[in-house]
Amino acid sequence: MQLEKILPEWLLFKKNKSRPSEAQRERERKFVRKVNAFFDISHANDMSMIKFEEGRKFLIDQRSERNMILRTLDKKLAAMQDRVSEHQREVLARKERAC
């Protein structure tokens, strides 16, 4: 349904692609943003699902001009923090059993 609305707009841009006016360029930029938003396949609650601030910044960057990359260090950090959390849960469980 939405794609049917986008197609005629795209055909107009295709027809007028040689127009050098600033207004035409601005309309094209708005159209590109609209198409990118239409084809955004990310999860609806993606920001609340991401644990690390760097991951959130990366997602925001991916939705803009894409300047960042995530490294394996983030995965290692996440694994380490998961192990620490698991260890803390085990310590609490032992303390509760001791009481």
Q: What is the rounded distance in angstroms from the CA atom of residue 83 to the CA atom of residue 31?
A: 46
pLDDT at 46: 73
Answer whether 0.85 is exceeded by the pTM: no
DSSP of 81-95, one letter per residue? HHHHHHHHHHHHHHH
pLDDT at 93: 94
pLDDT by 10s per residue, the chain, length 99: 577 888 888 888 777 777 778 888 888 888 888 887 777 666 667 777 777 787 777 777 776 766 656 666 677 778 888 999 999 999 999 999 987
